[in-house]
Amino acid sequence: MTFVIDLRWRKHHRPVGTGWDYRPKGIKPSSAVIHTTNGNRGSSFEAEADYLEASSGVGAHYLVGQRGQIAEILPPIYRAWHAGAAKDDWINSRSIGIECHHAVGEAWTHEQRAALAWLCQRLMADWSIVLGAIETHRFVALPAGRKPDPSDWTDRSFYDWRAALIAPVQPAGTYPVALELKVAWQSSGGLWHPSQFAPGYALTPFFRHPDGHQYQLFERSGARFTPQGTIEWLFTEEVERLKQWWRTHP
């Protein structure tokens, strides 16, 4: 199945402060929140997209339809107003908001789940978002219990769907994951998925680069270890550039 991202409803042509604004300086999206629109049954995808585009009070980055349509309402470099009060890793400043067109009580379609998976895999690759950072609105909303969505999608089914996202995106490498990353994972409250620490998951060993930092690279992401001991997660282009360097300096 092939999917297309429809750009007809983009919101950032409207004044800042109408359901969108800017992320804090230096903050890129590192997580995603899955919602359902929970509007009237029988509403059209176009009407839901019109609403998200025109709303002065709420926003989202994407709308996914029941026939597999995908509209980008707001480029992820901007901040959408979708999560409300949320756990820190999923506040609007750090997250990408994805609305699924769904009214309470409706059945989910295979096409919608497949389109959502395709979109999430793209976002994981483009923004180096780890599997565990893709979450339901109900899990991230504060106080606990404030939000039910995505509606009619149980946690068990959602996490099974999510686990299947990683296989095609991040095939296993050859090297073990650095101990430093495992420690960071343990202190991150489970933001990273345990499968990412399987033996042989990393594409490269932990190596030192002439820029003074140490790196470990994965299929679509990488970690930079600064001399100050902090770990920064790397984005697509930077990972590709470092992979090139590593291949020629084994």
Least distance (Å) between residue 29 CB and Zn ion: 17
* Least distance between Zn ion and beta carbon 52 (Å): 12
SS3 for the chain is CCCCEECCCCCCCCCCCCCEEECCCCCCCCEEEEEECCCCCCCCHHHHHHHHHHCCCCCCCEEECCCCCEEECCCCCEEECCCCCECHHHCCCCEEEEEECCCCCCCCCHHHHHHHHHHHHHHHHHHCCCHHHEEEHHHHECCCCCCCCCCCCCHHHHHHHHHCCHHHHCCCCCECCCHHHHHHHHCCCCCCCHHHHCCCCECCCCEECCCCCEEEECCCCEEEECCCCCEEEECHHHHHHHHHHHHHCC
Name the residue nearer to Zn ion (CB basis): 35 or 162. 35
Q: Which is nearer to Zn ion, 98 or 129 (CB)?
A: 98
Q: Which is nearer to Zn ion, 61 or 137 (CB)?
A: 137
- Looking at the Cβ atoms of 53 and 135, the one nearer to Zn ion is 135
Residue closest to Zn ion when measured from CB atoms: 35
- The minimum distance between CB 35 and Zn ion, in angstroms, equals 3
Residues within the interface to Zn ion (CB under 5 A): 35, 137, 149
- Smallest separation (angstroms) from Zn ion to the CB of 20: 16
Q: Shortest approach of Zn ion to residue 144 CB, angstroms?
A: 14
Give the residue with the Cβ less far from Zn ion, 102 or 193. Answer: 102
